[in-house]
Amino acid sequence: MTAPAGKFVWGMVLLSLAATVWAQRRPDPLTPLEGDQLRDAAQEPALRIKLYVGFARARLVALEQMRADPKVTDRGQQTHDKLQNFLEVYDELNDNLDTFVGRRADLRKPAKLVIEADTEFQAKLRALESSADASPAEVEQYRFLLGNVLEAVDGGLQDHKQLLAEQEEAAKRKKK
């Protein structure tokens, strides 16, 4: 291969990689207002966790509203997209919990809030899973993702219960 041809090939490879990365980028799951609220609560673990729980809850409410709207024609794809958005917010919630655990923050109250929310999220997601009002073709568009979301929330609930137990034990040791 000649030098100019080699440069061309490498240029094409780099362009292809850049296009792949660009195509895989997802928009931020949070609205600008939500981002502002999180920045304002950056150093307040309880408030920040409460905000994330509210954001996740709002994603599921939007999902339920969309599915109840008879005017929606692409329910399968929209269900997929809204589940993906919920999962991204839920993952951020867990990342924030991990961050505050690393900073040794007292997360007993926020953990209780998250555990209650996990139970609520499970119920809503299981209702979607057993929903009889969807065609098989529609369900196929989000079945795999719904399984992943349920797995994340189920695992999250167990992790959050463990976190609460560890936080309560640490608080007892601290009192002594």
pTM comes to 0.83
Enter the tokens of residue 4.
């100019």
Quick one: CA dihedral 31, 36, 37, 38, positive or negative? positive
> In this structure, are residues 66 and 82 in contact, taking their beta carbons and an 8 Å threshold?
yes
DSSP letter at 73 equals S
Q: In the predicted model, what is the mean pLDDT of the chain?
A: 89
Q: Is 26 inside any structural domain? A: no
Q: Is 167 inside any structural domain? A: yes
**Per-residue pLDDT at 134:** 82
> In this structure, are residues 100 and 167 in contact, taking their beta carbons and an 8 Å threshold?
no
> For residues 151 and 108, what is the distance between their CA atoms, to the nearest angstrom?
24
Q: Is 6 inside any structural domain? A: no
Enter the tokens of residue 22.
């660009």
Q: Is 79 inside any structural domain? A: yes
Q: Is 168 inside any structural domain? A: yes
Q: Report the number of distinct structural domains present in the chain.
A: 1
Q: Is 18 inside any structural domain? A: no
Enter the tokens of residue 150.
């349920």
Structure confidence by residue, pLDDT tens digits, 118-162: 999 999 999 999 987 788 999 999 999 999 999 999 999 999 999
Whether residue 19 is predicted with pLDDT greater than 90 in this model: the reply is no
Amino acid letter, residue 35: G
> For residues 144 and 146, what is the distance between their CA atoms, to the nearest angstrom?
5
Q: Is 23 inside any structural domain? A: no
Q: How far are the Cα atoms of 32, 71, 77, 134, 141 from residue 85, in angstroms, in the given order?
A: 15, 21, 12, 20, 15
Structure confidence by residue, pLDDT tens digits, 153-170: 999 999 999 999 999 999
